[in-house]
Amino acid sequence: MRSIPHFVGGRAVEGTSGRFGDVFDPNTGQVQARVALATKSELDAAIADAAAAQPAWAATNPQRRARVMFEFVRLLNAHMDELARLLSSEHGKVIADARGDIMRGLEVIEFACGIPHLLKGEYTQGAGPGIDVYSMRQPLGVVAGVTPFNFPAMIPMWMMGPAIASGNAFILKPSERDPSVPVRLAELMIEAGLPPGILNVVHGDKDCVEAILDHPTIKAVSFVGSSDIAQSVFSRAGANGKRVQAMGGAKNHGIVLPDADLDQAVADIIGAAYGSAGERCMALPVVTPVGEKTAVALRERLIAAIGGLRVGISTDKDAHYGPVVSAAHKARIESYIQMGVDEGSELVVDGRGFTLQGHEDGFFVGPTLFDHVKPSTRSYQDEIFGPVLQIVRAESLAEAIQLPSRHQYGNGVAIFTRNGDAAREFADQVEIGMVGINVPIPVPVAYHSFGGWKRSGFGDLNQYGLDGVRFYTRTKTVTQRWPKGGAVLDQSFVIPTM
């Protein structure tokens, strides 16, 4: 059985713990590899290696650090097909979507190529007599990222781009469910010219994450995953005095107003609800038509569009989406469908029991649609993270704004309308971190930043963009005086003011 190693000091390192996680091929349901789960001493060694390498990297001028990023971008493009196939084989998303996963990470690396400009500080000449003030952004040292299974390329790159370009050493603890792409990214970084030790990949589970959160050498932790774990990571790393940002789960709503272009809205909603089998934190698992007429028309078109969906293995070029990540996740999704039925929602299309000929043991779930879902139900309140779309009807725009605003999650939301006034009011009032107006998946571009509100995001700095650079650096402000002619100033016991 193939064994996926850690990556430390610029090379693959076999795990010694004797503990492994299974890595499945979701298309067949078979174990295809095993990944070594690190012990605390293996993690300690990776952190020590990073700490030894970091000062020289921080002292490397930013333009040279940027050159490594430029070369990394070139290598990502050159290896795109290979990376997409590898990603798809462990995650189960279709190849075209796997390329999208890599591209959205690559875009953050492109942003990090601008690091010489991004790190420029501020300067004030003549803040007082002979006094100038300047500030600079310095790296933190050794920092860590813990990432989820659903974007095994993009999310590690959200973090490693700004962290490494800023002069830090980065320890990545990727998801143990699809760990091969993160290791391949580290190999390509070394090929791009990154010194060994600046990017170390350590595989593990809860124990490894907790050791990261408690390790005194780690100065900052970026986490992306489910909300309960995000919250506990936020608390524990914070209590240990670390800088921490922790992104959590989501339940994003798509609001459809009566004046929307319904054909376009349906095309957008279908792609955003079922793409990647719904395993995206920016998926649209809830749709809220406003008014009875809109609801009836929307429902009819959604049913027709679902009828045209093709679920297939991840290498099937014609498939709209592939299997979900694991048997346990498939069972969880199907139990939420049963919960919806038990709670009294109308099950319009049932995706349970879906099998694909020749791939009967694959982790497939068919597209599922519920109507008349009540906001009080648990299947609405919880994140399902599968190909399940719930229609929650509203009578007015005001009610449609309240639904996502009152939900425990606050990651993304979309509104479909031709009415600029309504869209503007919606964007202004809705209590959600990322808003799409006629855009179903409003993941901000790499030079803005990504972050949800409420239980979708703990901490005050977002991922990537300028926030990413701020997160991985700290500001130092220097106030300097060069008195003319060596004049001695009187001693003062009063706080100096300008």
Residue 281 is among the residues annotated as catalytic for this protein: yes
For residues 444 and 480, what is the distance between their CA atoms, to the nearest angstrom?
39
Instruction: Give least dist CB 208 to ligand NAD, A.
Output: 8
Instruction: Give least dist CB 407 to ligand NAD, A.
Output: 13
Residue numbers of the site for ligand NAD (CB under 6 A)? 146-151, 173, 175-176, 205-206, 209, 224-226, 229, 233, 247-250, 281, 383, 385, 411, 452, 456
Instruction: Give least dist CB 147 to ligand NAD, A.
Output: 6
Nearest residue to ligand NAD, scored by beta-carbon proximity = 225
By beta-carbon proximity to ligand NAD, the closer residue of 368 and 411 is 411
Active-site residue identified among 281, 282, 284, 389: 281
Instruction: Give least dist CB 83 to ligand NAD, A.
Output: 18
Instruction: Give least dist CB 156 to ligand NAD, A.
Output: 10
By beta-carbon proximity to ligand NAD, the closer residue of 71 and 210 is 210
By beta-carbon proximity to ligand NAD, the closer residue of 250 and 260 is 250
By beta-carbon proximity to ligand NAD, the closer residue of 175 and 417 is 175
By beta-carbon proximity to ligand NAD, the closer residue of 294 and 456 is 456
- Would you name the residues annotated as active-site residues? 281
